[in-house]
Amino acid sequence: MTEFRPGGFQMIPPVIKNLIIANVLVFFAQNVFEHNPYFDFDNLFALHDIHSEYFRPHQLITHLFMHGGIGHIFFNMFALWMFGSILENVWGGKRFLTYYILCGLGSAVLHLAVLYYTNGHMLHALQALNPASPDFQQDEINFITKYGGSYGSISPVDIAAARVNEATLGASGAVFGCLAAFGYLFPNSLIYLYFFFPIKAKWFVLFYAAMELYLGVQNSAGDNVAHWAHLGGALVGILLVIYWNRTNRRNFY
């Protein structure tokens, strides 16, 4: 059994360093343009539902470099360094960057697929609301109760617009891919939760994935975490590592 202490060949290998710098610079730009009426940074670069007027294909990549606050970017960058630096040291920079981007794309695709399904049902329910129906008031209340979530007591049209145009941002999907690869390649390494409680990497990854799956299926009102994006990044990551490692079954630590 090995104990995982971030480090390896280089404490901060070049791709990790440049990814962290890029994320910090974009986060700084987000704050600079936050209240600029002429340049809507989030709607241009964050990921949006395909139903949204703000959706653009480039957002599948650009959203990976955006974050919602200091805590969000800190924990993502810390996890990227903690797990990604080991992977880059093992694989080399080119393969790691390829892996990181593919995991980010996988997370975005699964997230968009879930949004397309759930928001499609919501839009269908909105179209079904008929003011001439004797049950319209109750139907409207049911719609607001089901889809209102954190948007409060506003009209069904406003709720639908808010949900469809909600931005998704963050490197979490790609970072989950790094976590999945670490758990697969170093299953018996110890990760110290809160720096004190040791747990094997394989159990940590499985527990985290199970929790994300449960929360994603539950889809609680007001939950603004993109659980399916996390799972998408982890799934693509596992499939890539299995494919790359198919001729070297003994490469486990």
State mean pLDDT over 8-15.
76
pLDDT tens readout for residues 124-139: 988 888 888 888 888 8
Residue 101 · residue 65 · CB < 8 Å: no
> First vs last Cα of the chain: how many Å apart?
8
Give residue 252's pLDDT band: very low, low, confident or very high (50, 70, 90): very low
Residues 20-47, mean pLDDT to the nearest whole number = 90
* Per-residue pLDDT band at 16 (split at 50, 70, 90): very high
What residue ranges do the domains of the chain occupy? 14-244
Is the pLDDT score of 3 beyond 80? no
| Pairs from 91-100 (Cβ < 8 Å, separation ≥ 24) | 93/13, 93/14, 93/15, 95/244, 96/13, 96/15, 96/16, 97/15, 99/177, 99/178, 99/181, 99/237, 99/240, 100/15, 100/19, 100/174, 100/177, 100/178
How high is the pLDDT of residue 105?
95
Helix axes 227-244, 201-218, angle to 10 degrees: 140
Q: How far is CA 208 from the centre of its chain?
A: 13
- Residue whose C-alpha is closest to residue 166's, from 119, 134, 212, 210: 119
H/E stretch holding 130: none
Strands (E), 170-223: 190-193, 197-200
CATH superfamily of 14-244: Rhomboid-like (1.20.1540.10)
Q: Could you give the dihedral angle defined by the CA atoms of residues 70, 71, 72 and 78, in that order, rounded to the nearest 10 degrees?
A: 100
The Cα–Cα gap between 192 and 170 comes to 24
